Amino acid sequence: MLGYVPYSFLEEHDISFGDPHAARKLYGLDHFDSLEALKQLSPYARRKLLEEAEIPYVSLALGNYEQLAPVIGWDRFMIDRAVYNDTPMPWNFSVNEGNFDEELIGRNLTGQGYREVRYGDFTYYHVNEDMEVDIHSQIGGAVLSQLNRVAVLDDMLVTAPATGIMTGVLEAMSGDVETVIDSPACRAIADSLGDVFTAVLITPERVMNFYVTQTPPSFDFPTAAGWGTLHRYGMLGIGYRNDGKERYWDTCLYYEDASAAQADAGELVSRLKSYVFYTQFKPVENVPLTSLYEVGEPIIREYKAGATLTVSCRYLAETTGGNSFTGIVVPARDFLFLAPDPMPYIDTGEYSTTSA
């Protein structure tokens, strides 16, 4: 899936991945491949089923699926896998694999005022100007500009709010530009994370970029003053796994120098074991990481161009929330444990713009 995304997108934005098909398969929901299939269940059974299965949302563009499904011709339950970005708005995109009805979607979109545009070997549907929102339309009123551009290509659905984003994806599919998977760092992280329900790739320059607050918060975290430093890593990956018995969220750092990965292993584990969530938000209750997860041993994997350092945090039996780590903590950038030098971000009344 990362081969559908230009590397230039990752330089500016987080790139996320979701595998709803793996979740449905794990919970025996393979036959629920559309909203209509789910509607055959009673409301109680449907709610219980979806809460237990933790099927990942793969794009906010499809959050209003019940409202939009009859209008656009697809819903989120048709999606098997996706790569996407949702934060920060309005810049976003999604590339979705699934069983889509190309003719139905085309008729629905042209009926909503979309026109067909040819780009190289591809055709996509176009409405509005770049990033423009038509709140008076059924689609724009529900998802703003997120479906301004739509392409349906051989069981693949691409959405974007602007032409340049759509054509960037199409160029990646054509092999005309460098893609995320062409990066040795991203390829190594994808391999190290393995089979995940959800995951996100973040460049080190954006690790401590804050999206959910007007001003960068500082962490009320005195114990971090005793931490050591981390070497500069080249890429960050975070993934959520569920094998039907245990659940994990994994932190994976890529280094060009394998010795740096070895040197940081103990420090990263120590930071995780002493970490407390939400200290940058007041008066939100602080939550020790170890009250929710068991921190595992570090794993070093060496590759031709570098090495990865991975630490898995196992969900305790009583911990709820499933893949909410990537859904909540990642946008909030509750990542002080990943700052090479945490001191600029600790509650001293000052904030440094130095990147992590």
Q: What is the pLDDT of residue 204?
A: 96
pLDDT value of residue 59: 64
Is the same domain home to 301 and 198? Answer: yes
Q: Are residues 112 and 238 in the same domain?
A: no
Which pLDDT score is estimated for 331? 83
Asked if 107 and 143 sit in the same domain, the reply is yes
Say what the pLDDT of residue 289 is. 95
Pair (168, 191) in one structural domain: no
pLDDT score for 212:
56
356 residues of the chain, pLDDT tens digit each: 999 999 999 999 999 999 999 988 888 888 888 888 878 878 887 777 777 777 777 765 555 557 788 999 998 889 999 999 987 788 999 999 998 999 999 999 999 999 999 999 999 999 999 999 999 999 998 889 999 999 999 899 999 999 999 999 999 999 999 999 999 999 999 999 999 999 999 999 999 987 655 566 789 988 888 999 999 999 999 999 999 999 999 999 999 999 999 999 999 999 999 999 999 888 889 999 999 999 999 999 999 999 999 999 999 999 987 777 777 788 888 999 999 999 988 876 543 333 33
Q: Which of 180, 213, 233 is the last residue of a domain?
A: 180
Q: What is the pTM of this model?
A: 0.93
Of 180, 200, 226, the domain-final residue = 180
pLDDT at position 133, please?
96
Q: 257-261 long-range contacts, Cβ below 8 Å, gap at least 24? A: 257/231, 257/306, 257/307, 258/300, 258/302, 258/306, 258/307, 260/231, 260/232, 260/233, 261/300, 261/306, 261/307, 261/308, 261/309
List C-alpha distances in Å: 326 to 48, 134, 235, 274, 287.
22, 31, 16, 20, 16
Task: Give the domain extent around 308.
Answer: 183-345
What does the pLDDT read at residue 350? 42
Q: Is residue 46 domain-shared with residue 156, that is, in the same domain?
A: yes
Strand partners, 306: 303
End position of a domain, from candidates 132, 158, 180 = 180
Residues 176 and 192 in one domain: no
Instruction: Report how many domains make up the chain.
Output: 2
128 with 188, same domain: the answer is no
CA 238 – CA 254 distance, rounded (Å)? 12
Note whether 249 and 159 are same-domain residues: no
- 167 and 187 fall within a common domain: no
Q: What is the pLDDT of residue 356?
A: 36
